[in-house]
Amino acid sequence: MTVERHPTAADVVRAHLAENVARLHEEEARVRSGETSGVHKMRIAARRLRTSLRTCQPLFEQSTDALSDELRWLGRALSVARDAQVLRERLRDLVSAQPPDLVMGPVDVLIDDELSAAEQRGRAHALVVLGDSRYRRLLDDLDALVRDLPMTGEGARPAGDVFPGLLRRDTKRLRRAVRAAREVESGEAHDAALHNARKKAKRLRYAAELAVPALGEPAEKLASAAEEVQEALGEHQDTVMSRRFLRELGARTHLDGMNGFTLGRLHVIEEARAAAATEDFEHAWAHVEACRIRTRRAS
């Protein structure tokens, strides 16, 4: 669905929702056919839809919280397979980069076997969810929302007048999350706070991309800056997941009498990567702070 040259806020929201509902259908077919990338792309479509509902909630006549919750349910159902896939690829690359004399024991086989099994279990679960009547109701509700789009008078206003305020709200949410992360000392609580900031950065990125038809280059720059933050904190979160996995696998292999040297070495490398990712995040955050979104009336 294309956006008019002088779009209202409703025009932009409808086009965005329609595009991502269509993508949800397309990627569902790929998931069912076994395509590796299907789960990831379907989860992205669900996240973009959820972001649009949450960011644009002030424009809707009624709460979209229930629909947003169902999209979160779908995203979580798809995350099991994707998280295992990402972790397996990350650790496989990390092991292959080590000097052969420092890889003691069948580390690559242990990692691949466990995470491949987890990925397959996740894919099986995803297929069960896609066959559930709850998922079909979600699709029906999304189709009805795109068709009817029950918006307040704000939806009829020029998109260039409406979206700056919405983006500023999401920027403030990210700023609060960043401030909270900086106030927490290192450890699990700090990791959790950074992960929360990452989710807020992703929301801002998707919201800014939604607003590009209304605001043009300023929204593009904000989306790019938010993506930098998301990627830096995503790298940090990947190390959190990998370190947890390596620690648990190391404990089990030790009980089985195996040499855990290489797993410990990988853990140390991931700790260093986490520190580097935190530094990258600080640089990326400065780019977000430099972005300014102002009202731009249609010309």
Sign of CA dihedral 67, 68, 71, 76: negative
Last residue of a domain, one of 157, 179, 209: 157
pLDDT score, position 290: 94
Give the residue numbers spanning the domain of 119: 1-157
Kindly state the tokens that stand for 117. Answer: 């099994």
Q: Is residue 150 part of a domain?
A: yes
Kindly state the tokens that stand for 268. Answer: 């140390």
Q: Is residue 140 part of a domain?
A: yes
Residues 136 and 13 occupy one common structural domain: yes
pLDDT score, position 298: 43
Please count the other Cβ atoms lying within 10 Å of the Cβ belonging to residue 128.
11
Gap between the Cα atoms of 262 and 104, Å rounded: 6
| Cβ–Cβ under 8 Å, residues 15 and 2 | yes
Residues 213 and 277 occupy one common structural domain: yes
Q: Is residue 5 part of a domain?
A: yes
* Domains: count for the chain: 2
Q: Is residue 86 part of a domain?
A: yes
Residues 150 and 181 occupy one common structural domain: no
pLDDT score, position 131: 95
Residues 152 and 203 occupy one common structural domain: no
Please count the other Cβ atoms lying within 10 Å of the Cβ belonging to residue 72.
14
Residues 274 and 173 occupy one common structural domain: yes
For the chain, the 3-state helix, strand and coil shares in percent, each to the nearest 5, are: 80, 0, 15
Q: Is residue 284 part of a domain?
A: yes
pLDDT score, position 1: 52
Q: Is residue 49 part of a domain?
A: yes
Gap between the Cα atoms of 100 and 141, Å rounded: 54
Residues in the chain: 299
Residues 109 and 248 occupy one common structural domain: no
Residues 168 and 148 occupy one common structural domain: no
247 to each of 195, 244, 268, 276, how far by Cα in Å?
A: 20, 5, 11, 20
229 to each of 12, 49, 203, how far by Cα in Å?
A: 25, 21, 11
Last residue of a domain, one of 142, 157, 172: 157
Gap between the Cα atoms of 216 and 218, Å rounded: 6
Residues 150 and 189 occupy one common structural domain: no
pLDDT score, position 27: 95
| Amino acid present at 124 | A
Residues 217 and 150 occupy one common structural domain: no
Residues 68 and 167 occupy one common structural domain: no
| Cβ–Cβ under 8 Å, residues 281 and 229 | yes
Q: Is residue 298 part of a domain?
A: no
pLDDT score, position 160: 94
Residues 56 and 138 occupy one common structural domain: yes
Residues 176 and 256 occupy one common structural domain: yes
Q: Is residue 299 part of a domain?
A: no
Last residue of a domain, one of 157, 183, 213: 157
Quote the pTM value. Answer: 0.91
Q: Compute mean pLDDT per 10 residues along the chain, 299 residues long, and list them.
A: 74 96 95 91 96 96 95 95 94 95 92 94 95 97 95 95 96 97 92 97 97 94 97 98 95 83 95 96 95 66
